[in-house]
Amino acid sequence: MDTTLMDRVIQQAMAQVLMPMFDPEFPESSFSFRSGRSAYNQSTRYGTTS
């Protein structure tokens, strides 16, 4: 198996284990790097800053 592919598989496996443990700890106003949340979600919820 290619090392890049192996790294990606390991990253995904760890993310699947760690995300449910740490996601509840983040405040509802946190949008960065969270499943189902993006900068677009933030801008529609709070308005744009530009």
Nearest 5°: the CA angle 27, 28, 33 is 80
Q: Which residues contact 42 (CB under 8 A, 6 or more apart)?
A: 31
Single-letter amino acid, residue 18: L
- What is the DSSP track for 7-45? HHHHHHHHHHHHHHHHGGGS-TT--TT-TT--HHHHHHH
pLDDT at site 29: 66
pLDDT tens profile 1-50: 789 999 999 999 998 999 888 877 776 666 666 666 666 666 676 666 55
CB-CB contact of 35 with 19 (8 Å): yes
Q: Give the pLDDT of residue 4.
A: 94
